Structure formats: C-alpha cells, structure tokens
Amino acid sequence: MIELRTPTQIEQMRPAGRFVASVISALAEKADVGVNLLELDELAHRMIKDAGATSCYIDYHPSFGAMPFGKVLCTSVNDAVLHGLPFDYTLQDGDLLSVDFAASVDGWVADSALSVVVGTPRPEDLRLIDVAQQALDAGIAAARSGNRLGDISAAIGSVARGAGLGVNLQFGGHGVGRTMHGDPHVPNDGQAGRGLKLRPGLVIAIEPWFLHTTDEIRFDPDGWTIRSADGSRGAHVEHTIAITDGDPIVLTARD
C-alpha cells in the first residue's frame, strides 16, 4: 500500500534522515586501507546505540534472505554491489566499497548508500561512481509532484545508457516510512510518463546501482551478498527523498 505523509510527518522524518546521513559520512571517513569491514559495522552499531536509534537490518529477513541479516550495515566490496554482509575482510588498496545503511529514529526510517574508493583509485571506478551519482541526481530532479514514477526511472536509466552501462531491474528504490521497504518499487529504468502519478507526501528511496560490464547478478552462499555475474565492479548510491509541492526534500543529504 502506498502511503502519503503529511508535511508534519515529513518534518518528523528529518531526524532519521540526518542521523543516517551522519552515519554514512562517518563510515566514508573511517573506510581506509587496513580497516576491517567488521570495524565499520561496529562503528555504525555504536552510533545507533548512542543516538537511541533502531537498526532496520539486524533482524531483517525477507523471502530472498537465507537468514536474518544479523548486522547493522551493508558493506559491498569490488564485484559485490548490494546487500553485502559484513565479514572478516580487511580493506585493500584500490578496493571499491559501497556502504548502505538504514535506521529508524522515533519510529521513522531513512535509508542511504554511498560508494567510495579506498586508497589508490582506478579511473574506471571513479567514473562508475560518478555515473551512479549523476543518475541519482537525475532521478531526484524528476521526483516532482505531477510527474510519473516512470519519469524517475527513465531519468536514471538514461544516464546509465548514455554512459554505456546496462541496468538490472531486479532491485531498485522503494517507499520509505515506518518501515524500510514499502510501496512503490522504483526501478532504475523505465518509460517516462508512465506509472504512478507523483503526489506531495510520497517518500521514497531512489537508489541507482550499476556494474561495469554486465547487468547480470549472482548471490553469495551467505544468501545476501549480490555480486556481478562476470566479476566486474559495482557502485551504489541512494537517498531518501520526500516529494512536495515544489522541490523534493533530500532527507538524507550529507553536509
């Protein structure tokens, strides 16, 4: 069911957005050569506790998950791009790391993701991250009252295709509110002018993710971590936004 939030409720969601943004920023700063993925998860765990927030991940167990997630953060490295389950891995020079984090504050959820290169970057990785960010910006720009959901999807897909990238439609953006994942699903490609009419009060996560040379994926034995089918690297970015009568509000905007 699609729910629209009142202006008061959107204001009540701002603390969750600010908190999630602060955690994503802290993780990006902490990520470095020699840092273990479990250290990043522990940092997010401490920040959740200190803020009196609630993890959206630790007990999360959708139909595709082999078990409850068990961690508070997704860490996807190199050819992993989504839902990376943190494990005992120390970041190496040149790793492409995507972090995805969602939490609830006072009963309202926000969700955001960021990709960074650790140490010495590969130019193609920086380009992939830049394309993902351009696609996110384009999707947000299309998230205006009176437009259609397909306008957001088409804007994202157009950036990807213009950069010569394929788009996987199995996972994408989603509604956000009292829970992390709700309606509507927001694909990363589609037809402009089609789909749900966007109205003020709709709160969604827009999350482009792309792979260098494929749009096919595979799951790790952990049942969570999603990798490219051909071993190529991936980038993932995401913001939670609220549609208004004017410009969209990026609730997870980082300073």
**pLDDT by residue, tens only, the chain of 255 residues:** 899 999 999 999 999 999 999 999 999 999 999 999 999 999 999 999 999 999 999 999 877 777 899 999 999 999 999 999 999 999 999 999 999 999 999 999 999 999 999 999 999 999 999 999 999 999 999 999 999 999 999 999 999 999 999 999 999 999 999 999 999 999 999 999 999 999 999 999 999 999 999 999 999 988 899 999 999 999 999 999 999 999 999 999 998
Phi/psi zone of residue 46: left (φ > 0), alpha (ψ -120 to 50 degrees), beta?
Answer: alpha
Q: Which residues are annotated as a binding site for substrate?
A: 83, 181
Q: Which residues are annotated as a binding site?
A: 83, 100, 111, 174, 181, 207, 238
Q: Report which DSSP code applies to 51.
A: H
Which of 26, 17, 65, 66 lies closest to 45 in space, CA to CA? Answer: 26
Taking the C-alpha atoms of residue 157 and residue 186, their distance in angstroms, rounded to an integer, is 12
Q: Which residues are annotated as a binding site for a divalent metal cation?
A: 100, 111, 174, 207, 238
Amino acid 232 reads S
Asked if 117 contacts 129 with a C-beta cutoff of 8 angstroms, the reply is yes
Which domains, from first to last, does the chain contain? 7-250 (3.90.230.10)
> Where do the DSSP E strands lie in the chain?
54-55, 74-77, 80-82, 96-105, 108-117, 173-175, 182-186, 203-206, 209-211, 217-219, 226-228, 234-236, 239-242, 249-250
Measured CA to CA in angstroms, residue 151 lies from 22, 119, 161, 203 at distances of 30, 37, 15, 16
Asked if 239 contacts 232 with a C-beta cutoff of 8 angstroms, the reply is no
